[in-house]
A and B are shown apart, each in its own frame.
Chain A
Amino acid sequence: MVERTPFLNFFTHLILFVGFVFCVAPFVVVAIAASHNLRDVNDVPMSLLPGNDFWVNIKTAWTTADLGPKLLNSFIMAAGVAAGKVIISALTAFSIVYFRYPGRTFIFWLIFVTLMLPLEVRIVPTYAVVADVLSPYQAILDVTGLSWLIEKVSGVHVSLSLGLLNSYTGLIMPLIATATGTFLYRQFFLTVPDELTEAARMDGAGALRFFIDILLPLSRNNMAALGTIMFLWAWNQYLWPLLITTDQSHATAVTELKQLIPNVGGIPEWHIAMAGTLIVMLPPLVVVVAMQRWFVRGLIATEK
């Protein structure tokens, strides 16, 4: 603006700078604490000059919490959720926007309602479903009498069962089962000009061809935005992986962090804990910094 407001400008700078410090301080403190040795990190007040043990601590944290495989698990889960969301939401939105069929509005609402109840809220029964993912279908067969009928006719006793605990599928699937991305695509598809569809149809393109050759390339920006926030969101999941990975081999980096909390009364190994924290917070931070544009855009577009 054109006016001169030196007094106000001073306060603007001051407050923003304080905000900046509060925002960055935890990162800095974690990094500095991770560079101290056991004695220095527990010093009161802790020295803000970095110590010399950074790489040693990182190494210790890495081996104590077995972070190598855990980071890989986190990555597989996050990438799986992001990819699944990007693909499945696109398919659904295409179906809702570009076709007229009976029950379309019903399907729309069926999907819309899933926005209301986050996984954390229905965690106990979802866990039961993942423990045996075919149980809903078995129950339906039982209740409708179909399993009885099949047993009478063919003599085969139907018992469907498939446990997904401690598997990547079990980690990923329930996190995909929400509507977030669908509406992002829907909003975008509605802005695609009808003339484009008409032209494609006139050139003899069917629904599938139009979807793959025209619609998907047009939605590249949406895919990047959705992929970024879904990757971050899945990486940062805690309760769900904590529950379903009873076996260490599928635990994620974020859940492993708990192993590093110093016990009350034990040796206060904060330098190791902070080194582990630093390792776990770094990948999402890198994604935020590198993909800032998509991150902000995806966040604002999906929540609306």
Chain B
Amino acid sequence: MEKRVTFSKWTIGILFAVPQLVLIFTFFYWPAGQAVYWSLTLQQPWGGGNIWVGLDNFRSILSNADYWNSISASLVFAAISTGLAMFIALVLAALTDRQLAGSRLYRVVLIWPYGIAAPALAMAFRFILAPEAGFMAVVNRVWPGFWDPGLDGADAMASIIVAFSWKYVGYNFIFFLAAFQAIPRSLIEAAAMDGSGVIRRFWDIQFPLITPTIFFLLVINITESFQDSFGIVDIMTAGGPANATNLMVYKIYSDGFKGLDYSGAAAQSIILMLLIIVLTIFQFRFIERRVHYR
């Protein structure tokens, strides 16, 4: 879409864009380029510049079992937390959209979790799910040794999934509810006149009409599970036990800033960037489709 009426002094026009361009050059394009450069070179231990090593950094991380472990942990985390957060939010939004008594309250309260910082909610869940205090302790009393995120990798993974999903149920709820409310009431009323029930209307009218939102949220949830998980992992498990929750962004952070392996961290960043770019391109294809629906 283009404006028909514009201003003719385009030198002024470019000036308006300059602040943004300087910012994204300095803090986006340069670092992104730097990451590519670092990933292809190796810093010499006592200074003296970087030496070119080609794809060696990639080869060495790709042959590293820890890295593959980190990828699979990230994928497990992404798949389960996205599934949970989206399914729960979809059900809650669909039911809230029925507009029975009290739906106003739900509309307000159910979005609160998304406002909370990941580390803060991680702290809350660390307490709630702590094996010796809080609520899982009650379960542990009945079945001793049933739950210990500090020792059992699966328990630790479950904890971070619960914390992340809790936050993103709120997020997905906002989008699902907006999508449901955008469906013309007349469509649903017409179906009701024809004698279709609530569940029938959901599957035949509402669900098909919100599929674009589902695809959109699917991609957003997966990419967010790569990024927003950092605070949760850092507070709840610190990547442990035995690397069971060492997700990709956390590994980049610990390799780069604790292990001071910039080249390795840069190579990992590049792989993660590619992954997210692929997902984003995927998403834009579905956004095209969304336009098609309406």
Contact = CB atoms under 8 A, between A and B. Distances in A.
Contacts of B5: 194, 197-198, 201
Interface string A36-55: 00000110111000000000
Contacts of B164: none
Contact of B123 (A174, A243, A257): A257
10 contacts: A8-B198, A26-B166, A88-B20, A95-B15, A99-B9, A115-B280, A118-B276, A281-B117, A284-B117, A304-B287
Contacts of B7: 98-99, 201, 206-207, 210
Nearest to A210: B7
Contacts of A254: 117, 119-120, 231
A13 B100 contact: yes
A33 B231 contact: no
B110 to A, nearest CB: 6
Contact of B26 (A33, A129, A243, A304): A129
A15 B95 contact: yes
B253 A239 contact: yes
Interface size class of B (residues with CB under 8 A): 35 or more
Interface string B74-95: 0000000000000010011001
B184 interface: no
A280 B266 contact: no
Contact of A288 (B13, B103, B111, B273): B111
A295 B171 CA distance: 11
Interface in A49-85: none
A133 B120 contact: no
Interface in B174-206: 174-175, 178, 188-189, 192, 197-199
Contacts of B10: 99-101
B1 A190 contact: yes
Given A101-B14, A296-B111, A26 B26 contact: no
A2 interface: yes
Interface string A1-21: 111010011001101100110
Interface stretch (B52-60, B65-73, B128-136): B128-136
Interface of A: 1-3, 5, 8-9, 12-13, 15-16, 19-20, 22-24, 26-27, 29-30, 33, 41-42, 44-46, 88-89, 91-92, 94-101, 107, 110-111, 114-118, 120-130, 133, 136, 173-174, 176-179, 182, 189-190, 194, 197-198, 201, 206-208, 210-211, 232, 235-236, 238-239, 242-243, 254-255, 257-258, 260-261, 264, 268, 270, 273-274, 276-277, 280-281, 284-285, 287-289, 292, 295-296, 299-300, 303-304
Contact of A118 (B118, B138, B227): B227
A117 B273 contact: yes
B49 to A, nearest CB: 12
A205 B198 CA distance: 56
B124 A277 contact: yes
B252 A91 contact: no
A135 B174 CA distance: 42
Contacts of B223: 118
Given A111-B20, A281-B120, A13 B102 contact: yes
Contacts of A89: 20
B113 interface: yes
B106 interface: yes
A141 B275 CA distance: 33
A270 B127 contact: yes
Given A15-B95, A91-B17, A124-B265, 10 more contacts: A16-B96, A16-B102, A23-B112, A45-B138, A98-B6, A99-B7, A100-B6, A121-B252, A257-B120, A299-B175
A20 to B, nearest CB: 6
B120 A117 contact: no
The A interface is mostly helix, strand or loop, or mixed, namely helix
B10 to A, nearest CB: 4
Nearest to A43: B133
A300 B27 contact: no
B17 A95 contact: yes
B269 A121 contact: yes
B61 interface: no
Contacts of B50: none
B234 A258 contact: yes
A124 B35 contact: yes
Given A123-B252, A285-B112, A95 B31 contact: no
Contacts of B105: 20
Contacts of A101: 10-11, 13-14
A174 B31 CA distance: 11
A88 to B, nearest CB: 5
Contacts of A133: 26
B21 to A, nearest CB: 7
B137 interface: yes
Contacts of B91: 15, 19
A261 B116 contact: no
B42 interface: no
A95 B16 contact: yes
Contacts of A126: 27, 31
Contacts of A260: 123
B235 interface: yes
B204 to A, nearest CB: 15
Contacts of B21: 107, 110-111
